[in-house]
Structure 1
Amino acid sequence: MANDNGNDTRKAALSSTVRGLDVDMSDASNLHLVARKAPARDMPTHVYDTLYEAILSGVIAPGERLMVDEVAAHFGVSKIPVREALKALAASGWVQIRPHRGTFVRPLSSQELRQVFEMRRVLEPYCARLAAGRRTEEHVRELKALVKEGMEAVRDGDVVRTTAVNSRFHNVMAGAVANDLIFDTVTGLEARMRRYFIAVDWKQRRESMSQHKAIMEAIRDGDGDEAERLTLAHLEHTEALAFSSVRQIADG
């Protein structure tokens, strides 16, 4: 369990990034909060995967600077695998390498948030309809377990866990469609959304998880019409809540 000081540091960093949604907030480094587990594979991949998860979970805040020397010292490696990992993160769009300035985690953007929801509204309701007709019993068990875990995370006030569970629910639903292109697109959108879920303080997460339960039941029952309708309503609710929360924090 993370200590209170670590949680306070992360919350402060996240709060500062949201206040200026399109502005870099890179004064402090949260690299010390990143895990240093020994790699079970090549070092560049280990550094990439660890930083990637830290960025998505909000441990490393949007706009934060990643210094090669500091990252290398943190992982106890040379600069070479760190540079390789940062280049790969830049190619994936998670960091920006600015000449003569350094490497920075891509800041949050209201434009990106709007674009992601435009894509989700087009794709995910149809995905839910297909999932209702193609899901297996294993998919239903996974969705049911994620609904339960999500409710528990909300009850415990665990923002990071709630966000991860939310993404996994949508990813499992996409997996039930048995279409690799749909799955890759949805998981990519969900990865982008995780940073926004972390960065804003949503007071209605319980309602969102209740909506997941209704979607799960429609998919379980093979009701494609209902699954599609519920998913669209869920996305509209989530989008309105996201932008409302972002505006409130920015104004505060």
Structure 2
Amino acid sequence: MATSTKDTRPLAVRVYEQISSDIISGTIQANTMLVQEQIAAQYGVSRTPVRDALTQLSLEGLATLVPGRGYIVNSLSAKDVEDVYEVRYTLEALAARQACGLHTPQQLIRLRAMVDEFETIDPNDAEELFRMGAAFHAALLEPCPNTYLRNTLAAMWEHPIQRRITMTYRQGAEHQAKIAQDHRKILEALKTNDPDTIAEVLRYCHNPKDDRQ
């Protein structure tokens, strides 16, 4: 397994990150059986860290243990995607309403700069688009006084399922332009302290099932 010689984390953690990354990127596809012996041989490790990694994948919702067969990579249904965005939107709308009107001039400048940078990213670089999009949302909600709410949303953005959805729905330049446009609408609404508009924009922002006409 390719890894930095300075990486002192437990081997099981590194194996988990590698398998998780391969699932999120699509290198390991849905419904693939994850056989301990094969994975151990592929990554050049023993079965013990692989077993621990597969257990973590199951806890994260990326794989399911099938009795008598082993672990199988979960598929993403339309309902799975809808459930993720329903929860995230509800919490983000709440946090945005609490943050509205509390941004400093410096925070607004940083948000605008993040949108400018987002538009310069290669539209085929789904991972970088995801990273910058998540960073914008974190900065948007930074003034929210509810720390638990902010931390919960940060954990949602970092969850492997959220990343996998983003990697699954690669929508290219058109989708990138829509997200940038949404972010600029949010910036305009922040100037006028308009939480209703921000909440409405968040309903669709980064949602692969954007049904706006």
Is contact 2:92-2:202 (8 Å) kept? no
For residues 31 and 132 of structure 2, the distance between their equivalents in structure 1, rounded to whole angstroms, comes to 25
- 1:4-15 equivalences in 2 (<5 Å): none
2:128 paired residue number: 161
Please tell me whether residue 150 in structure 1 is matched to residue 121 in structure 2: no
Amino acid at match of 1:119: V
- 1:144-223 equivalences in 2 (<5 Å): 144-153=112-121, 155-190=122-157, 191=159, 192-202=161-171, 203-216=174-187, 218-219=189-190, 221=191, 223=192
Candidates 68, 72, 94, aligned match of 2:40: 72
Query: Aligned in 2, Cα 1:56/1:70: closer, same or farther, shift over 3 Å?
Result: same
Please tell me whether residue 127 in structure 1 is matched to residue 95 in structure 2: yes
For residues 158 and 95 of structure 1, the distance between their equivalents in structure 2, rounded to whole angstroms, comes to 25
What is the number of residues matched between the two proteins? 205
Query: Aligned in 2, Cα 1:160/1:99: closer, same or farther, shift over 3 Å?
Result: same
Query: Aligned in 2, Cα 1:194/1:99: closer, same or farther, shift over 3 Å?
Result: same
CA RMSD, Structure 1 to Structure 2 (Å): 3.0
Candidates 82, 85, 95, aligned match of 2:50: 82
- Residue 185 (structure 1) shift: 2.9
Is contact 2:204-2:210 (8 Å) kept? no
- Residue 204 (structure 1) shift: 2.7
For residues 44 and 138 of structure 1, the distance between their equivalents in structure 2, rounded to whole angstroms, comes to 41
1:51 paired residue number: 19
Query: Aligned in 2, Cα 1:176/1:62: closer, same or farther, shift over 3 Å?
Result: farther
Is contact 2:63-2:74 (8 Å) kept? yes
- Residue 83 (structure 1) shift: 0.7
Is contact 1:150-1:162 (8 Å) kept? yes
Amino acid at match of 2:119: M
- Residue 59 (structure 1) shift: 4.0
Is contact 2:34-2:73 (8 Å) kept? yes
1:30 paired residue number: none
For residues 54 and 109 of structure 2, the distance between their equivalents in structure 1, rounded to whole angstroms, comes to 37
- Once the two structures are superposed, what CA deviation does each residue of 1:125-149 show, in whole Å capped at 9, x if it has no partner? 2222223344467754653443233
Partner SS state of residue 75, structure 2 = coil
- Once the two structures are superposed, what CA deviation does each residue of 1:168-211 show, in whole Å capped at 9, x if it has no partner? 32234344425342124323443333322221242332111221
Q: TM-score, normalised by structure 1?
A: 0.67
Query: Aligned in 2, Cα 1:134/1:237: closer, same or farther, shift over 3 Å?
Result: closer
2:2 paired residue number: 36
For residues 210 and 55 of structure 1, the distance between their equivalents in structure 2, rounded to whole angstroms, comes to 30
Amino acid at match of 1:63: N
Q: TM-score, normalised by structure 2?
A: 0.77
Please tell me whether residue 113 in structure 1 is matched to residue 84 in structure 2: no
- Residue 80 (structure 1) shift: 0.5
- The structure in which a higher percent of residues are helix is 1
For residues 121 and 157 of structure 1, the distance between their equivalents in structure 2, rounded to whole angstroms, comes to 25
Partner SS state of residue 37, structure 1 = coil
Query: Aligned in 2, Cα 1:137/1:53: closer, same or farther, shift over 3 Å?
Result: farther
